[in-house]
Amino acid sequence: MEIFEGLLNGFSLVLSANNLLFVFLGALIGTAVGVLPGLGPAATVSLLIPIVYTIGNPATSIMFLAGIYYGAMYGGSTTSILLRLPGEAASVVTCIDGYEMAKKGRAGSALAISAIGSFVAGTIGVLGLTFLAPFLSDFALRFGPPEFFALMLMGLLLAIFLTGENPLKGAIMLLVGILLANVGIDPLTGVARFTFGVIHLRDGFDFVVLAMGLFGLSEIFLTLEKKMSAEFLTKKIGKLLPTKKEWIDSRGAILRGSLIGFFIGIIPGGGAVIASLTSYAIEKKFSKNPEEFGKGAIAGVAGPESANNGAASSSFIPLLTLGIPGNAAIAIIFAALMVQGVTPGPLLIIDHPDVFWGVIASMYIGGVMLLILNLPLVGLWIQLLKVPFYIMGPAVLLITAVGCYSLRNSVYDLYLLLVFGVIGYVLRKLEFETGPLLMAFILAPLIENSLRQSLLMSSGNIAIFFIRPISGILILIFAIVIIFRLLKNFRNVKKKVQVEK
């Protein structure tokens, strides 16, 4: 019953005019971000952090940021289907069959199915979140420093092993993130690290500036290299209502996609991209007519789109219950909460029930808003793509700059922003992912503290991480995942060698 009471309180909180407005704004901005290629949810969430500071209320601000995150998953499908241009990474597979459907004049039903699938999956995800999260929080209360250390380390490493094309590069980024986080005064001893006598460096780097530079600014640099012009390939959207056959074809895909998304989203590093890829692969495998895939199979749209939204909702589970962000965008939300004095983790549900239940309730309402925003207003979102880059570019850059400046009214932060922007740009040119860097940067102080506390507890005995049952099991699971991944790599290399022969 506690769950219902909490949820009810959450709803009464969300239904205030102010909170509704911010949930709506979040969903609106999220959809816009999803539609626009390039700007991803992580970049946008970081751009809007300064606005969150002016909101002042942690519950309202997380509703707003969460809205942007799952809104982007919705919006991404629109451009994939109509223009074969994935608005964000999780919608890449939607391009394949979605665009084929659009060519056949069935864009309307593809859009409708993906919106409906997203809604169903989002709702299933939030339902799972509602019932699973309190139990997980309860469980995690038993964690001590060694467990948290094992959990966070596992979360970060899983993130690079699962998402990255190249785990080695991911690991390097991870360590660089930790190093960057170490700049400034050491919280345990008060010793200044890596400051080289520069006063500005004593406070360390602000994660907002880092995130804005790595994700926002570097994106602008990348876009400037090539003149992008969105071609409008699809003229007619066609009827929105899917036919009876399309319904039957996509029903199962939506359900399967929702479940796949939900479970993959819970795993740190799982996230929406893997969820949508997995769902597509599964739909193709189990389809009665797999030859239709790639030629406009509606299940190839319904499954992945449901999966990425399911994952978007369920990726809040580790954040709200364990305090572990599963991907870069969630990590920024995590940091935004920390700055406002709210520490996500097992104590969240007890200390800040308004934040915990508020964000869950806001997701139910946000889901409905997104359905309304996306289906009838599809035409409007396509207009957004016609805004030329010579206006979008300066506008985004200036918003970033002003937001960054407003953090501390300091020009120094602006130079730092530029430096991080250039670093992010070069790293992305080298095909290093900046996500793990930011996640490690945000988690590093927590990891370092739990490591040092654990070592104090055991007076320097590393065995503490293996003997304690929970942390021992976590490390074991992680070891198994890595071994599997390495075996897979090994097999791939073997295959390649055989092919070459």
Partner 1 sequence: MLLGLAAVIYSVVELDLGNLARPGPGMFPFLSGVGIVVLTLLWLGINVKKIAKGTPLWGKNEWVNPIILIILTIVYIALLEYAGYIISTLLFVFGWQMLIEHRKISSSLLTAGVCTVALYLVFVIFLRVPLPEGILNF
- The residue from 1, 142, 165, 191 that contacts partner 1 (CB under 8 A) is 191
Nearest residue (CB) to partner 1, 65 versus 320: 65
CA contacts within 13 A on the Cβ side of 350: 9
Nearest residue (CB) to partner 1, 27 versus 446: 446
Neighbouring-strand partners of residue 184 = 193
The least distance separating partner 1 from the CB of residue 124, rounded to whole angstroms, comes to 37
Burial of 431 (C-beta count, 10 Å sphere; 0-12/13-18/19+): exposed
- Give the integer Cα–Cα distance in Å for 29 and 45: 10
Enumerate the H helices of 48-199 as residue ranges: 49-55, 58-83, 92-103, 107-140, 145-163, 167-181
- Give the integer Cα–Cα distance in Å for 268 and 175: 18
User: Residue 113's closest CA among 128, 127, 101?
Assistant: 101
Q: Is residue 390 at the binding interface for partner 1, with CB under 8 A as the rule?
A: yes
Q: Reduced to 3 states, what is the DSSP secondary structure of residue 185?
A: strand
- The residue from 11, 221, 247, 263 that contacts partner 1 (CB under 8 A) is 221
Question: How many other CB atoms sit within 10 Å of the CB of residue 434?
Answer: 24
Question: Residue 193 gets which letter from DSSP?
Answer: E
- The residue from 1, 199, 391, 497 that contacts partner 1 (CB under 8 A) is 391
- Give the integer Cα–Cα distance in Å for 84 and 99: 6
Taking residues 447 to 476 in sequence order and writing x for each that binds partner 1 by CB under 8 A, - otherwise, the string is: -x--xx------------------------
The least distance separating partner 1 from the CB of residue 23, rounded to whole angstroms, comes to 19
- Give the integer Cα–Cα distance in Å for 280 and 274: 10
The least distance separating partner 1 from the CB of residue 274, rounded to whole angstroms, comes to 23
Q: Which amino acid is at 276?
A: S
Taking residues 413 to 452 in sequence order and writing x for each that binds partner 1 by CB under 8 A, - otherwise, the string is: -xx--x---x--xxx-xx-------------x---x--xx
Taking residues 337 to 376 in sequence order and writing x for each that binds partner 1 by CB under 8 A, - otherwise, the string is: ----------------------------------------
Q: Is residue 189 at the binding interface for partner 1, with CB under 8 A as the rule?
A: yes
Q: How many residues does the chain have?
A: 501
Which stretch, 11-19, 250-258, 387-395, 484-492, contacts partner 1 (CB under 8 A)? 387-395
Q: Is residue 172 at the binding interface for partner 1, with CB under 8 A as the rule?
A: yes
Tokens encoding 496: 């390649």
- Give the integer Cα–Cα distance in Å for 42 and 469: 35
For binding to partner 1 (CB under 8 A), which residues are involved?
A: 50-51, 54, 168-169, 171-172, 175-176, 178-179, 182, 186, 188-189, 191, 193-194, 220-221, 224-226, 390-391, 393-395, 397-399, 401-402, 405-406, 409, 411, 414-415, 418, 422, 425-427, 429-430, 444, 448, 451-452
